[in-house]
Amino acid sequence: MFVDINMPDLNGMDFVKSLTNPPKIIFTTAYSEYALEGFKVDALDYLLKPIDYATFLKASNKAKNWFNLQKSKPEQMNSNEDFLFIKSEYKVVRIKIEDIKYIEGMRDYIRIHLVNDKPIMTLLSMKAMETQLANKNFMRVHRSYIVNLNKIVTIERNRIVFDKVYIPISEQHKEKFHQYIERNFLS
């Protein structure tokens, strides 16, 4: 929305502040002293009159790029949900997060190992999965492994043991993992 500061009956800045869910704003005004306040209300741009076409076009393109960037962002998972939907072998599978023991990275794919079911393979990056499981009691312990901290029963020589599978804890992730263990260690 393009908003002028000097409007009849209402100051443009007051108008923007009065909106409960304001759109992205580009201020157009002859008053430079409101510029700082304009950016405090999260304005995309602040154009001083007289506005030449090149400046107007630049501000319009900035707004267009901002909206395109917002459309291209993947939807964030609702933090209250306790499941994920994963595409695997031409179908979409619902997985309870609490059923995940660990996730194994395999180049462009990941294999999700579950408590009482066979592993599920999907075309997804470890980084995407790590982001999706942030704040859900999962930790990346190796370039190729993310573990469910609630499912760890045994740790042996810097390796997490799940049944007969030994998951290494890499040097890069060792300190963070050991801090987690120390916080929960009873001596």
Tell me the DSSP string of 116-153.
Answer: SS--EEEE--HHHHHHHTTTTTEEEEETTEEEEGGG--
Question: Considering all CA atoms of the chain, what is the largest pairwise distance in Å, rounded to the nearest integer?
Answer: 75
Q: Tens of pLDDT along 68-126?
A: 887 776 555 444 578 888 998 888 999 999 999 999 999 889 999 999 889 999 999 89
pLDDT for the residue 16: 84
Residues 157-178, mean pLDDT to the nearest whole number: 92
The residues that bridge with 95 in the sheet, in sequence order, are 84
What integer best gives the mean pLDDT of the chain?
A: 87
Counting residues of the chain whose pLDDT is more than 70, the rounded percentage is 95
Q: Where are the alpha helices (DSSP H) in the chain?
A: 12-18, 35-40, 53-72, 126-132, 171-183
The answer on pLDDT for 63 being more than 60 is yes
Going along the chain from its start, the domains and CATH numbers come out as: 2-72 (3.40.50.2300), 83-183 (2.40.50.1020)
